[in-house]
Structure 1
Amino acid sequence: MRVQFMLSEIWIGLRRNASIAVSVMLVTMVSVYLMGIGFLAQSQVTTLKGYWYDRIQVSIFMCGKDSVDANCQGKAVTPEQRDALKAQLEQMKPLVKNVYYESEQQAFDRFKEQYRNSPLSEYLQVGDIPQNFRVQLSDPKKFDVVVSAFEGAPGVGRVQDQQKTLEKLFAVMNVVTVGSLFLALLMVLCSVLLMATTVRQAAFSRRRETGIMKLVGASNFTIRLPFVMETVLAALGGTGLAIAGLWATTHYLLPKVSAVLQDAPLVGTSDIWYVAPWLAAFMLVVSVLTSWVTLRRYLRV
Structure 2
Amino acid sequence: MRVSFLVGEVLRGLRRNVTITVAMILTTMVSLTMLGGGLLSVRMADKTGEFFASRIELRFYLDDDVSKNDQDCSQEPCKSLVSDLKKSNGVVSVQFLNRDAALKEAQDLFKGQPTMAEYVTQTPLPASLRVKMTDARDYPRVLDEFGKRKGIKFGTNDKEIVDRMISVFDGLRNAAFGLAIVMALAALLLIANMVQIAAFTRRTEVGIMRLVGATRWYTQLPFLLEAVVAAIFGSILAVGALLLARPMVIDKVLGQLFDENVFPRITGSDIANVALTIAPIGIVFAALTAYATLRFYVRE
- TM-score normalised according to structure 1 size: 0.83
Task: Say which of 76, 98, 107 aligns to 2:102.
Answer: 107
Q: Deviation per CA, 1:92-151, whole angstroms, max 9, x where unpaired?
A: 325432333334454344345445667973673322643322222233322134323432
Question: How high is the sequence identity, in percent, across the aligned residues?
Answer: 29
Task: Say which of 175, 186, 191 aligns to 1:179.
Answer: 175
Task: Say which of 78, 82, 89 aligns to 1:89.
Answer: 82
Deviation at 1:21, TM superposition (A): 1.0
| Structure-to-structure mapping, 1:23-172, within 5 angstroms | 23-64=23-64, 77-79=67-69, 83=75, 84-93=77-86, 95-114=90-109, 121=116, 124-126=119-121, 127=123, 129-172=125-168
Mapped contact 2:107–2:120 kept (Cα < 8 A): no
The match for 1:71 is none
Deviation at 1:158, TM superposition (A): 1.2
The match for 2:224 is 228
Q: How far apart, CA to CA, are the structure 1 residues paired with 2:272 and 2:178?
A: 23
Structure 1: segments with no counterpart, 5+ residues: 65-74
| Structure-to-structure mapping, 1:207-218, within 5 angstroms | 207-218=203-214
Residue type of the alignment partner of 2:69:
P
Distance 1:261 1:218, change over 3 A: same
Where 1:227 maps in the other structure, the secondary structure is helix
**Which is further off, 11-20 or 79-88?**
79-88
**Which is further off, 265-274 or 28-37?**
265-274
The match for 1:17 is 17
Deviation at 1:77, TM superposition (A): 4.4
Q: How far apart, CA to CA, are the structure 1 residues paired with 2:102 and 2:167?
A: 28
RMSD after superposition = 2.8
Deviation at 1:235, TM superposition (A): 0.9
Structure 2: segments with no counterpart, 5+ residues: none
Mapped contact 1:90–1:96 kept (Cα < 8 A): no
Where 2:120 maps in the other structure, the secondary structure is coil
Distance 1:210 1:137, change over 3 A: same
Where 1:178 maps in the other structure, the secondary structure is helix
Distance 1:10 1:122, change over 3 A: same
Q: Deviation per CA, 1:134-190, whole angstroms, max 9, x where unpaired?
A: 222233322134323432333322111111111111222222222222221221111
Q: How far apart, CA to CA, are the structure 2 residues paired with 1:190 and 1:111?
A: 52
Q: How far apart, CA to CA, are the structure 1 residues paired with 2:226 and 2:211?
A: 23
Distance 1:129 1:249, change over 3 A: farther
Q: How far apart, CA to CA, are the structure 1 residues paired with 2:109 and 2:130?
A: 16
Distance 1:80 1:260, change over 3 A: closer
**Which is further off, 269-278 or 111-120?**
111-120
